[in-house]
Structure 1
Amino acid sequence: DFKVAGTEKGVTSLQIDIKITGITEEIMRVALDQAQHGRLHILGEMAKALTKARDELGEHAPRIETLKIPVDKIREVIGTGGKVIREIVEKTGAKINVEDDGTVKVASPDAASIEAAVKWIKSLTSEPEGGQIYEGKGVKVMEFGAFVNFFGAKDGLVHVSQMARERVKNPADVVKEGDVVKVKLLGFDDRGKVRLSMKVVDQETGADLSAELGDEARDDGPPPRRDRGDRGPRRDRRDRDEAVG
């Protein structure tokens, strides 16, 4: 039993099972010559159907993707009693295996399913980066701006001053709940809250307009809260009433 595998360029592996002590060099030469003719014939027939390997797997070909997450983020992916990972599996259709060293394997015959699961996992284990542009969805509109969900479960504020180049009187005229918008992460305020901007991002293309806007794109953050300064303690209402009386 003699098996030979290879390409047009040569032999990559071979296997031989014999019950005798050995074979001669001449027999081996003949066997390899026959194997070459057979191999090239088979490759020729294969080329009629597919001339070269596909750049990507077929849409429904089984596949697996591996990624690494910080060990201390494993609990974020698993969730209490496995709640989070079950939700990811149910909604994406992918199979997920999380190992103790942070290795995560995502498998599915559907490329879109894997992509959705990987994106979800990354949103749970990564942190947004300042200066980056993200796509988000309006979740709450207030008189001072709009909160946008832009990075997994993370929300950030687009202050009314960062919603558009022109003055915005009513934030609801620019963003409504459920609207998909593009935002740039400007940074974090002194309380760690996320600050986002819409006006420095082209809402059609997602291009960063900061350089084009110049000083107009500068963000000084929302105005600080006013304090009473040196005006002294607030007088009791009764004291004020007595003074008036």
Structure 2
Amino acid sequence: MVVRKRVIAEGLRVDGRRLDEVRPLFCEAGNLPQLHGSSLFSRGDTQVLCTVTLGAPGDAQRLESLVGPSSKRFMLHYSFPPFCINEVGKRTGLNRREVGHGTLAEKALLAVLPPEDDLKYAIRINSEVMASDGSTSMATVCGGSMALMDAGIPLSKHVAGVSVGLVSDVDPSTGVIKDYRILTDILGLEDHLGDMDFKIAGTRSGVTAIQLDIKPAGIPLDIICECLEPAFKARLQILDHMEREIKAPRTQDERNSPRIVTLKYSNEALRRLIGPLGALKRKIEEETGARISVDDGALTIVSKNHSVLEKVLEKVDFIIGREIEVGGIYKGNVTSIKEYGAFVEFNGGQQGLLHISELSHEPVSRVSDVVSIGQQLSLKCIGQDLRGNIKLSLKETLPRPGSGSKIEAFSHIKQDLDGLASVGDIPPEQEKQRSSVGDVPVSKHETSVVASSWSSSSILIRSAVECDEEEKSAGLNRNSKSGIETSINAKNLKIGMKVTAKIHQIRARGLVLDLGGGVHGMYRFETGGKRNFEVGDELQVKCSSFSSKGIPVMSMVEDE
């Protein structure tokens, strides 16, 4: 009674705080870097340690119920050990209090999680109460929100919670409340001696979960509504502290969370991947350490890092392949050679025909002169015939032989001549002839005649192909001074070399680049980087590494 009378008469609380004052706050995210996500939240003497573990969709909790969903992918486990209140006790399992507090915190955070279609992880939060002096469930909400952000889960907003209490003076004869005081962020003693424990969790824009415990037979509704205003002000103060520690989800490069990807396949393709009694699926999991989950038409892969994910994707592509796209580049092995072409096995066991006319830009008399059985080739899918057979092309992946128009070849010769002989050295009639010929198309024979009529011993006559090659070489020499290569081959490409590349194809996770000289490289999309590219765009890139199969891996060159 002494505490209650002091609160009503003087407005002073047990610890000397004002009625609407929040206890001192401390929060830290990522305090356990080896875990997927972690946080430590303290409010006064109440302290909670929250950890986040991310798993495959198959790790979701199974629910045995006649109604509702059959599984739950988001789980929050609240633990209140005896040591947090200085007791030596024996843990005998969860009690009703722990289940209730955990369910309240779980509902508060579930409102800001992304939809299940956008995030396939099974998520478990473990909240361990390290010290308790009231409002541990709301501390769990605050710590759980920061731990999810630390794990890279894209929450729509931070969530915080606070408990509001009530001390009232009741007329013993009538039972009517004569006077009352609303307490913000109550202590354990104020919860025990007070009339109400109103837990309110939410974001800056709304409430996500509430729980009301009262001791009197009833409390007027206007008092309950009045409690929302001090709770909102206290929640904003707590959110400010949390956002100063971590404001946005961490990126993949900053966190230790596993990688996840979901792919769409036909059920027949998924059956090939699983294998007899799931043997093939288990073999991939044992070799890579990844987790593979198969649903109706969907394949979900969870791996501990990006390199493991790439290995799994290579194995999946080899077994079931990708969806054949016209214009896509695929690697395959020659299985048989016929007079009219070669049959190639690619994309998880599919067969395609490489016709003799698609072997090279030059005429080919025998298929065996170009390819051999067992040879690995990079081929382009150019379509399907009426029977559904896949048509492949090798020449579409090779550089076309240099071909320029005859007038362009003549203009190249003019430029060479301008560099070797000044206008004053050419007779006027020949100068007139040169200027008039430059405005109209001429044949290769005429070009040679006109060029030979200029009497200069230093002039060298070249064919159109030779001129194109000379111009490419000259352009390479000019651009090499600035560090950008415009024409390369597989032999002179080295790590750190800068080149000008064209986008050959756009994939789901990156780009296939044409580096020139018949060399193709790949560029992987960066998190938060540019993705709106178009086929044919030119990019300034740099060779950063080579894949295990010798494919150049390129990165963007930043503008200086």
TM-score interval w.r.t. the shorter chain? 0.5 to 0.7
- The change in CA–CA distance for 1:152 and 1:57 in structure 2 (over 3 A counts) is farther
Mapped to 2, the partners of 1:27 and 1:167 lie a distance apart of 92
Is 1:78–1:85's contact at 8 Å kept on the other side of the alignment?
Answer: yes
Select the residue among 209, 233, 241 that pairs with 1:13.
209
CA distance in 2, matches of 1:201, 1:207: 12
Instruction: Tell me, in whole angstroms, the C-alpha distance in 1 between the residues paired with 2:375 and 2:345.
Output: 10
TM-fit CA distance, 1:195: 2.2
Partner Cα separation in structure 2 for residue 91 and residue 139 of structure 1:
28
Q: Is the 8 A contact 1:66 1:104 kept in 2?
A: yes
Q: Secondary structure of the residue that 2:209 maps to in structure 1?
A: strand
From 369, 375, 378, the equivalent of 1:177 is: 375
* Cα deviations by residue, 1:41-62 (Å, 9 ceiling, x for unpaired): 2222232233334677966424
**Structure with greater contact order relative to length (CA < 8 Å, sep ≥ 6):** 1
1:42 aligns with 2:238: yes
Query: What number of residue pairs does the alignment pair up?
Result: 203
- Gaps of at least 5 residues in structure 2 are 1-196, 400-501, 507-560
Matches within 5 A, 1:127-206: 128-129=324-325, 131-139=326-334, 142=337, 148-168=344-364, 170-172=369-371, 177-178=375-376, 181-188=378-385, 193-201=389-397, 205-206=503-504
Q: CA deviation at 1:95?
A: 1.6
Report if the CA contact (8 A) 1:138-1:146 is conserved.
Answer: no
Question: Where does residue 257 of structure 2 map in the other structure?
Answer: 61
Give the Å deviation of 1:196. Answer: 0.5
Alignment map for 1:24-103 (pairs within 5 Å): 24-53=220-249, 60-62=256-258, 69-98=265-294, 101=296
Q: 1:163 to 1:54 in 2, by over 3 A?
A: farther
- Which region of structure 1 is more displaced relative to structure 2, 135-144 or 87-96? 135-144
TM-score where L is the length of structure 1: 0.59
Contact 2:379–2:392 under 8 Å retained in 1:
no
Aligned to 2:27: none
CA RMSD for the aligned pairs? 4.2
Secondary structure of 2:208's aligned partner: strand
SS in 2 for 1:90: helix
Take 1:124 and 1:12, find their aligned partners in 2: how far apart are those partners? 44
39 and 149 in structure 1: CA distance in 2 versus 1, 3 angstrom threshold:
farther
State the alpha-carbon separation in 1 of the partners of residues 283 and 254 from structure 2: 27
C-alpha displacement of 1:189:
7.4
5+ residue gaps, structure 1: 209-245
Relative to structure 1, is the Cα distance of residues 114 and 27 closer, same or farther in structure 2, using a 3 angstrom cutoff? farther
Residue 207 of structure 1: how far off its partner (Å) = 4.9
The 8 Å contact of residues 120 and 152 in structure 1, kept in 2 or not, is answered as no
Identity of aligned residues (%): 32
- Gap change, CA 1:113 and 1:28, over 3 Å in 2: farther
Q: CA deviation at 1:40?
A: 1.4
